[in-house]
Chains A and B, each alone.
Chain A
Amino acid sequence: MNIPGKTERTGPVLFSGYKRGEAITKALSLSREDILFELKDSKLKGRGGAGFPTSTKWMLVAAAKGDKKYVICNADEGEPGTFKDRVLLMEYPELVFDGMVIAGYTMGASLGIVYLRGEYEYILKSLEDYLEEMRKDNLLGNNILGKGINFDIQIVLGSGAYVCGEETALIESLEGNRGEARNRPPYPVNTGFNGKPTSVNNVETFAAVCKIILNGGKWYCTFGTDKSTGSKLFSVSGDCEKPGVYELHWGAKISEVLDLVGAKHTKAVQVGGASGICIPKSQFNRTLAYEDASTGGSIIIFNESRNMIDVLKNFMEFFVEESCGQCTPCRIGNSKLLEGVELIEKGEFTFNYINKLKDLGRTMQVSAKCGLGQSSPNSFISILENFKDEVLNKSNGGRNGR
């Protein structure tokens, strides 16, 4: 395989050096309550996209009644333009797995499951070897570090369905059912895997937990903004000189990211992958943060030579394929939006119809059953609104957003 090995990465929090077991040792010397307080102080929010406060989720699972509890690491990473979880798993497994052990201890779970997307099968072997080393070092298995804590981790491969990154669809597929999202509530914190209390967290969330336990919640808050504390990994791709994974403070401006990665003549930035929003030049001073342009980390850059309708078509085709088909707004809605894009492509649209489709998109945002159908209209609406001069009025693409 010709994927470059561990490159020297530097960053404020995650890419700043860590020794296997450090955070586990520290965590096991703390009470569960202390860990939850530390997480609460850190104001850590989930890194999988939805941004739910991690301390709240863990507290709910810790408090839930159940003879068994589970910790699930969501490594399904299917959002177009996202690859930071792959980098964490390949280059920093110590942060991810130590974070899972801490989660198990804090919530009283004895099994952790890594749901690894099937596309990443080539890293399975190295991860399993790594877990074996942890077992040898008594960081995993029975009586961890002699503290009477039992916790083990198993890895399950997904089978190529984007929707299985949605936590309830993920759980359905783990249970041997089609990966169709469940109605929520009830939430996995009460009725998760096999009906037991379960915390599903993103790969990066577990990594952040290790650093918070080692250095404290207050320390973590010195990075980022007031509402978006800490750092974030961004997967940057598209038109730039230095694509790759970057660790930045939350609150970085889009224009700063563009400078950092050597992007020139940029006309648009897609923040949050296909289910995110497309930001025009006039808004490049917006910040990457939960309170502004929120994202699970995907940043795709388009320069002035790109045709935004091609971009939108690529995204809508993706959603038509990946919709699980369970609910009508998403199953039919995405097909209708794609048809609309094709009409625009052929120059056969009417403004009246396109406005109806935007309304349909807004209806999907509130009526689809899961996050896939709720967010798939985002790029449709934002591209048609922010790039209407190019897309609908056929003017010079370079003038967009000015």
Chain B
Amino acid sequence: MLTAEKNAMVEEIELLVAKYGKDRSALLSILHEIQKRYRYISEYAQQEVARMLDIHPVEVYSFISFFAFLNSEPKGRNLVRICKTISCDMVGKSAIVKTIERELGVEIGGTTKDNKFTVEYANCLGLCDQGPVMAINDRVYVKLTPEKAVKLLSEVK
């Protein structure tokens, strides 16, 4: 990472700490925002958060490793998550997954070569009456068909 980028990130983390406080209880919210902004929480970011909250960097790492939505390694630019819980499973989740894998040339869990998409399974997204359901980043799409899923993905920048 360039020094200028690093400095910009430190400034952002400082702002987050100003917003959420220096107490350890700010960790969940701070990390969530860093994750959202950078799509992952780099080692450098972890160290800076730890320094500002006065805890050990390993504790920040340990926290990140616990949560499915926080990651310490970069993923693709867009995160596609397909609900695999039983109600979505019963209305054709597998067909959606197979189609997406074929269209994007990627296996579930993987990232496309152009780094545009990471495709994953999600546990229950809480839209069980409207499956199959998929989330692209923080938006959700319901009552999918394979065709509709592909169309939605093609509309992503």
Contacts and interface: CB of A to CB of B under 8 A. Distances in A.
B123 A162 contact: yes
Given A80-B85, A174-B28, A179 B67 contact: yes
B69 interface: yes
Contacts, number: 131
Contacts of B135: 119
Given A162-B123, A236-B129, A314-B85, A178 B63 contact: yes
Interface stretch (B19-27, B99-107, B110-118): B19-27
B123 A322 contact: yes
A239 B129 CA distance: 10
A176 interface: yes
Interface string A63-96: 0000000000000011111110110000000000
Contact of A118 (B25, B62, B69, B87): B69
Contacts of A1: 139-141
A120 interface: yes
Contact of B127 (A3, A79, A175): A3
B85 A81 contact: yes
B89 interface: yes
B97 interface: no
A82 B124 contact: yes
A162 to B, nearest CB: 7
B30 to A, nearest CB: 9
Q: How large is the interface on A (under 10, 10 to 19, 20 to 34, 35 or more residues)?
A: 35 or more
Interface stretch (A8-16, A29-37, A152-160, A392-400): A152-160
Contact of A80 (B29, B31, B124, B129): B124
Contacts of B153: none
B126 A160 contact: no
A160 B124 contact: no
B67 A159 contact: yes
A81 B128 contact: yes
Interface residue SS majority, chain A: mixed
A122 B127 CA distance: 13
Contacts of A149: none
Contact of B86 (A162, A176, A311): A311
Contacts of A120: 126
B62 A79 contact: no
B142 A2 contact: yes
A178 B66 contact: yes
A314 B89 contact: yes
Interface in B38-86: 53, 55, 62-63, 66-70, 84-86
Given A2-B141, A3-B142, A159-B70, A243 B128 contact: yes
Contact of A86 (B26, B85, B86, B126): B126
A121 interface: yes
Contacts of B128: 80-83, 235, 237-238, 243, 300
A176 B67 CA distance: 12
Given A83-B127, A160-B68, A178-B63, A119 B122 contact: yes
Given A79-B124, A244-B129, A314-B86, A177 B63 contact: yes
A372 to B, nearest CB: 13
26 contacts: A2-B141, A2-B143, A77-B126, A80-B86, A81-B85, A81-B87, A82-B128, A118-B69, A119-B126, A122-B140, A158-B28, A159-B32, A160-B68, A160-B69, A176-B27, A178-B62, A179-B67, A180-B66, A237-B129, A237-B131, A239-B90, A243-B87, A243-B130, A244-B129, A314-B85, A315-B86
In order of increasing CB-CB distance, the 4 nearest A-B pairs are: A160-B68, A176-B27, A243-B129, A237-B128
Interface of B: 23-29, 31-32, 35, 53, 55, 62-63, 66-70, 84-87, 89-90, 122-131, 135, 138-143
